[in-house]
Amino acid sequence: MSELFGTLSDGAAVHRWTLERAGVQVRVLSYGGIVQSVEVPDRDGRTADVVLGFPGLEGYLAHPEPFLGALIGRYANRIAGGRFPLDGRTYALEQNEGTNSLHGGDRGFDKRLWEVAPVEHGIRLTRVSPHGEEGFPGRLEVTATYTLDASGALHIAYTAVTDAPTVVNLTNHSYWNLSGSGSTGGHELRLAASRYTPVGADLIPTGDLAEVAGTRFDFRRAREVGSGYDHNLVLDKGVTTTPVEVAELHDPVSGRVLTVSTTEPGLQLYTADHLGAPFAPGAGIALETQHFPDSPNRPRFPSTGLRPGEVFRSETVYGFSAR
């Protein structure tokens, strides 16, 4: 089901699509591929929206920086200095976080209008990113398919092809609050990650893969999340062809449980300590499944390169339950 959600400054229409199955309702916008809301029941059957979002399009246009619920690309996370080498050439990107490129630049995929078509139990978003957009090489054809399975789990599957060598790293930037409102302070997190990528003051990885044992990054056993995180955790499973469960987020008060399964090798844990009005710091927790930050400048990290004739594929599944 789709409906008009608003219009952009150039008059282009933005539509909202509603997906419903197995007691779960998800709303997605054609602008930015944004997951506007996810409504799921608690242990007593009471339904609440468990992602942060704005009620109208004007909220997303006025407050783009949190990337609420958005489809992030061409490159999720940070690229140091807004530059990377590829095949003997250095590409200069838009620098939108100091000297770094963050989440695809000033006008990444989160600020673009996508074509949307219905598919069985969901929708498919498509877009062509032209060569040179935000400095990235290659004409990139991208699809993102959002579906609900028989259990009500939300699947987001991405594909991309290019006509020239490039780099690709896609994710969804939803902020989860399983209470439905207030703080996520009591949420408990378990992550199948024995290592993480330490960062410098600019949040760019040092290149090391450090053990989480004995550090505040150890979520191998469920514990309260706390605050102060904007870091990539190295998932033990590595890159896989099908999604593998890597995370569980639990709200003891409502009983709601979010599980995250993915094909990706990393997960960016962001506790939104600097989230601004109208939301309070710590009002949501982002669990961004992706390749590592600054991978194009780090040959030791799993590659984000994509070449003509290859197909980029990535899938993440968000499962919902209560206990």
Contacts of 91 (CB under 8 A, 6+ apart): 83, 84, 85, 135, 136, 137
Using CA atoms, how far residue 173 sits from 12, 13, 235, 316, 323, in Å, is 24, 23, 18, 12, 26
The pair of structure tokens assigned to 53 is 């979002």
Residue type, 168: V
Per the annotation, the verdict on 173 as an active-site residue is yes
132 contacts: CB under 8 Å, gap ≥ 6 = none
The first and second tokens of residue 141, run together, are 């054809």
Name the catalytic one among 187, 288, 291, 315: 288
**Would you tell me how many other CB atoms lie within 10 Å of the CB of residue 59?**
15
Q: Which of 280, 290, 217 is nearest to 66 (CA)?
A: 280
187 noted as active-site residue: no
What number of H helices and E strands is found in the chain?
Answer: 1, 28
- Of the listed 103, 133, 155, 173, which one is catalytic? 173
What is the rounded CA–CA span in Å between residue 21 and residue 141?
Answer: 29
For 102-162, give the secondary structure using H, E and C.
ECCCCCCHHHCECEEEEECCEEEEEEEECCCHHHCCCCEEEEEEEEECCCCCEEEEEEEEE
Q: Kindly state the tokens that stand for 61.
A: 């246009």
Which H helix or E strand runs over 5?
Answer: strand 2-7
What residues pair up with 196 in beta bridges, in sequence order?
210, 233
- Report CA-CA distances (Å) from 112 to 11, 38, 278: 14, 22, 23
H or E element: which one contains 39?
A: strand 35-41
Give the catalytic positions in this structure: 173, 288
